[in-house]
Amino acid sequence: MADRLTQLQDAIDHQLSLMYAAVNYIQGKHPPGQFPGQPSQRKDGEEAAATPGGSPHSPDEFEASLRELAISLVLQEQQIEYLISSLPGLGSSEETQERRMRELETELRVVRQERIAAERDKEIMIELLGNVITGLRS
């Protein structure tokens, strides 16, 4: 599992990809505009060739796809908001953060001392085990 900042960066990258896909879809698949009182300038055979992404979707299909894209964008934005709100330090004062850092430093010192003691015990045990093995060989 990645840290929160990496998750946030990945979520933002995904959001940008969704936005690019949405713009690309809108640009390539929008149905032709219908203006009242104006005849269509496209002929039926030219429609697919004139549109870079192929033939445009029907207005209903286009609206449904836009709705799905919008939902994806909103859900991704909510995930980004959640990740931002879960970052440490938000909602706490500088003094609270400094106090927490001092507590963690004290805890780290204790853990380091425990590790050093455990390493000493390990060395003593290795030496005792070596003496026992040497005693068995003799």
For 21-38, how does the pLDDT look when each residue is reduced to its tens digit (9 = 90+)?
A: 999 988 888 877 777 887
pTM of this structure: 0.55
Of the pLDDT bands very low, low, confident and very high (cuts 50, 70, 90), residue 49 is very low
**CA 60 to CA 97: how far, in whole Å?**
53
Tell me the mean pLDDT in the region 30-54: 64
pLDDT of residue 8: 94
40 touches 32 (CB < 8 A): yes
Tell me the mean pLDDT in the region 80-87: 89
32-54: buried (b, 16+ CB within 10 Å) or exposed (e) per residue? eeeeeeeeeeeeeeeeeeebeee
Task: List CB contacts of 59: < 8 A, sequence separation 6 or more.
Answer: 31
Tell me the mean pLDDT in the region 122-137: 91
Tell me the mean pLDDT in the region 43-52: 51
